[in-house]
A and B are shown apart, each in its own frame.
Chain A
């Protein structure tokens, strides 16, 4: 019975992947991609990767979907011209050939993996007690492979700088996006008043349980960013000008705290990002607490986009 479900799920995902690629309209392709992300979440649940499932639902399906929708809306006026342009036969065959070659290489790579696949899971299980956290995913992300998480946070910051750099010179330092005007008595303003208190609690809860159960700062920060975006979309609050000192301080605070603790580790524990024995858990908490606001701001501001209004006098 469960096999039938899994095969159906896999078939649906392949169908949606195909649909996202062949759909002529960008908006339809994005809709297919978002449904694909949600079904992928179910696959991760079936594989017992609840942490990955949460991340996929929040970032893969939700945040990326919203980013792609705004991109598709912006590209709508150019779509007719893009569709009229038909690449030559050589280009199309070349593209098909390269795509098929990449797929074949990936398939060979996956099929060539030894059975059972090489795993570090027993090592993690053996040493998780040292870190003080109960969730092995959190232990890997913040202790055993902390470098990857640090680089991820920095990459996100660079991505936001990339978005901001699209601003025209005269708007530099101004507020990102356009001022939203919604009916103050409308349904959107109502939800933007009712939902954020619940959402903020859910975000903090998911962030906090990450130490021992599936959850963590990325998933929690995505929920917090979504609540912030809702309030901004309903016109109840405006995005802060990107020149604000508090904003820039919070944006770099997370990675800086992470790096500082890493450098201290060189002295106290003989390696960059190593934690001295006994206080690993408090240090991990400090890093998580510092990263949470940084990630919330980065994810929210990335969706609002580049500054579109001049700096305030």
Chain B
């Protein structure tokens, strides 16, 4: 059982890392602010989500697991907000230069 859980952790955390790598590549290579934001939020949402899901079987207590899930939720909220705010500034700048 613990082997299966460890395997799950390795697979999920590694997939999360792939999303972070892809997000960083997108941030560096994409042509404009909106597409870069798109790449960045994927890393936040899916990358961190997979890392959190992968770490869940490794926690000692239920409260530690809940804290991990809370962190993911807060990052989702703040990441989505920051992306919206930046995108709005970009749109306003592009339509009223």
Interface status of A195 (Cβ within 8 A of chain B): yes
| A-B CB contacts (within 8 Å), total count | 15
Chain B residues near A188: list those with CB within 8 A. Answer: 81, 85
Interface assignment of B84: CB less than 8 Å from any CB of chain A: yes
| Chain B residues near A195 (CB-CB < 8 A) | 77-78
Q: Which residues of A contact B78 (CB under 8 A)?
A: 191, 195
- Is B5 in the interface zone, CB < 8 Å from A? no
Contact in complex: A191, B74 (CB < 8 Å):
no
In the bound assembly, the distance between CA atoms of A195 and B77 in angstroms comes to 9
- Bound together, the chains give a CA A164 to CA B39 distance in angstroms of 42
Within 8 A of B (CB), among A179-197: 187-188, 190-191, 194-195
In residues 153-201 of chain A, which contact B (Cβ within 8 Å)?
A: 187-188, 190-191, 194-195, 198
Q: Which residues, 55 to 90 on B, are CB-close (under 8 Å) to A?
A: 74, 77-78, 80-81, 84-85, 88
Chain A residues contacting B84 (CB-CB under 8 Å) are 187
| Cβ–Cβ < 8 Å partners of A190 in chain B | 81
CB-CB under 8 A from B85, the residues of chain A are: 187-188
Size of the B side of the interface (Cβ < 8 Å), in residues, is: 8
Interface residues of A (CB under 8 A from B): 187-188, 190-191, 194-195, 198
Bound Cα distance from A215 to B80, whole angstroms? 28
11 A-B contacts (beta carbon < 8 Å) = A187-B84, A187-B85, A187-B88, A188-B81, A188-B85, A191-B77, A191-B78, A194-B77, A195-B77, A195-B78, A198-B74
Q: In the complex, what residues of B have CB within 8 A of residue A198's CB?
A: 74
Give 7 nearest A-B pairs by CB, closest first: A187-B84, A191-B81, A187-B81, A188-B85, A187-B85, A195-B77, A191-B77
CB of A190 to closest CB in B, whole Å: 8
Query: CA–CA, A130 to B97, complex, Å?
Result: 66
Closest-CB distance, B12 to chain A (whole angstroms): 19
Q: Which residue of B lies closest to A192 (CB)?
A: B81
CB-based nearest B residue for A187: B84
> Which residues of the partner chain A approach B74 to less than 8 Å between Cβ atoms?
198
Residues of chain B from 14 to 68 with CB closer than 8 A to chain A in the complex: none
Assembled-state Cα–Cα distance A187/B74 (Å): 15
A236 to chain B, nearest CB (A): 15
- Determine how close the nearest CB of chain A comes to the CB of B14; give it in whole angstroms: 15
Chain A, Cβ-Cβ closest to B80 = A187
Tell me which residues across on chain A come within 8 A of B77, comparing CB atoms.
191, 194-195
Which residue on chain B has the smallest CB distance to residue A182?
B85
Name the A residues within 8 Å of B88 (CB-CB). 187
CA distance A194 to B76 in the complex (A): 13
- Give the docked Cα–Cα distance between A74 and B61 (Å): 48
Q: Knowing that A187-B80, A188-B85 touch, tell me 6 more A-B residue pairs with CB under 8 angstroms.
A: A187-B81, A187-B85, A188-B81, A191-B78, A194-B77, A195-B77
Chain B residue at minimal CB-CB distance from A190: B81
Residues of A within 8 A of B81 (CB): 187-188, 190-191
Look across to chain B and name the residue whose beta carbon is closest to the beta carbon of A183.
B88
A254 to chain B, nearest CB (A): 28
Q: Quick one: closest B residue to A198, CB to CB?
A: B74
Complex: how many Å from CA A187 to CA B77?
10
B56 to chain A, nearest CB (A): 20
Cβ distance B3 to chain A, nearest Cβ, rounded Å: 21
Interface centre among B74, B77, B80, B81 (most CB of A within 10 A): B81
Give every chain B residue within 8 A of A191 (Cβ-Cβ): 77-78, 81
Complex Cα gap A198–B80 (Å): 17
- Determine the distance from Cα of A195 to Cα of B81 in the docked complex, in whole angstroms: 11
Distance from A266 Cβ to chain B, minimum over Cβ atoms (Å): 43
Give complex CA distance A198, B77 in Å. Answer: 12
